[in-house]
Amino acid sequence: MARVYNFSAGPAMLPEEVLKRAAAEMLDYHGSGQSVMEMSHRSAVFQGIIDQAEQDIRDLMGIPDNYEVLFLQGGASQQFAMIPMNIMKHRKAAYIITGNWAKKAWQEAQRYGDAVAVASSADQTFSYIPDCSDLPIPEDADYVYICQNNTIYGTTYHKLPNTKGHVLVSDVSSCFLSEPVRVEDYGIIYGGVQKNVGPAGMVISIIRKDLIPEEPAVENTPTMLRFKTHADAHSLYNTPPCWTIYVCGLVFQWLKEMGGLSVMKERNEKKAKLLYDFLDQSSLFHGTVRPQDRSLMNVPFVTGDKEMDAAFVAEAERNGLVNIKGHRSVGGMRASIYNAMPYEGVAKLVEFMDRFEKEHR
């Protein structure tokens, strides 16, 4: 069967070059006579894999030396607790609620202190990013928290909030490595890798070293949930997700070969423009996000008719365009067009949408 164009929000498609290389090295990684899935995480061979992966992501993002790069299990959702447990020392933090994941993080943080919602776009089904130029951030807040790109709702911050001097913590799961970032603008920037970086099973957390406490903010924080545990052990305190680290490393190398994050941004802007331009002129389909807040990665759209939406999703799948059904909270469709989605995939989607519209006028 020919490969389909997979518009899943995550786990999502990976670059074919990466999959082919992983397949070629499956039984024998670099003459070791074993698969990465079989080798000891304490071996010199695997140490080389994790060291190279860390160096490559540092190169790609321009990560300064005063930041740790941690490869952690538990996914982005575990960070919802791990962050306040480690750094909410004054038991107060500010959260900007722009979707389900920011809301879940805010709710989890309330277990450990006063998590204050300083802005929200819930009033319009999270279809926009609120004004973050002058937020009522408590002076004693330990950090300001955002979900930078909202996978479900298709919004993104094109300008970071004014944190008024407070530490910025950002979940970048669905825009990770899609464009250049200035790491110094963040205290912690983290993301689950299964959307735009690699296979499911890991979160990469980039943490400014002065935010890694000798003792966590919350007393009796479990050993495995302490930043210091993993920083001191260089992500090898226990058996890490070895295969995921390896494949992410291959993706990092692919990104470098493609020209880096500036090139990826250009590619992603071109893909997104093709789809948004069609939506803006369509008489059947329309986007659900305020134009100035549109994501380059996740594009939700609807027809306004649930039966029509269902027919579109079914027919799209028959045409090799899969996992395009929207999240239940938005309905309709959603095209996730991460780094690995080629321009040709988006072009085929737009061509199909145009044909579908003409047939259903």
Catalytic residues: 101, 171, 195
DSSP 70: E
Query: What's the Cα-to-Cα distance from 1 to each of 7, 15, 88, 320, rounded to whole Å?
Result: 18, 18, 51, 10
| Residue 271, token pair as written in the block | 């893909």
In the block, which residue shows the tokens 């899609």?
178
Would you call 71 helix, strand, or coil by DSSP?
strand
d(CA 330, CA 152): 8
Cα atoms in the 13 Å half-sphere on the side-chain side of 137 = 23
Q: What is the DSSP string of 285-346?
A: -EE-S-GGGB-SSEEEEE-S-HHHHHHHHHHHHHTTEES-BPPTTT-SEEEE--TTS-HHHH
Q: Provide φ and ψ at 99, rounded to 5°.
A: 165, -175
Q: Report which secondary-structure segment, H or E, holds 144.
A: strand 144-147
Q: Tell me the chain's radius of gyration from C-alpha atoms.
A: 21
